[in-house]
Amino acid sequence: MRENVPEESRPTSGNPLPPRIFNDSRYLGDYEAFFEARENNAVYAFLGLTAPPGSKVGGILYCFRLMNTTFIYTLLTGWLTLYRLEAPRGASQS
């Protein structure tokens, strides 16, 4: 599975530290990315799952990380919105 971790998510030396989250062989992120998704009610999107009908996160279409930033596409009331979630200032950017 290590070979499926994107280059920008690998440490500069050694092996990636656990936990690393995968859906089959597709890399989803690390604990920090999962924590951000949980804090923003985007766990289903983070895991690549469809939210159950009536859930608060039913409008989330897609979640991805790029350069330590989480982006979430949502479709609510007919508007397509892109959210950019950044770590709090001073937080580790591992």
* Inside any domain, residue 60: yes
Is this model's pTM higher than 0.75 or not? no
Q: Span 29-49, mean pLDDT?
A: 80
Q: Answer whether 9's CB lies under 8 Å from 16's CB.
A: yes
Q: Which SS3 state, helix, strand or coil, does residue 27 take?
A: strand
- What confidence score (pLDDT) does residue 70 get? 59
The parent domain of residue 25 ranges over: 2-8+17-85
pLDDT level of residue 17 (50, 70, 90 thresholds): low
- Strand ranges (DSSP E) for the chain? 20-23, 26-30, 60-66, 69-76, 79-85
Check residue 29 and give its pLDDT: 82
68 falls within a domain: yes
15 against 40, higher pLDDT: 40
At 88, list the tokens.
């709090």
Q: What is the pLDDT of residues 45-59, one digit of tens each?
A: 788 777 776 666 545
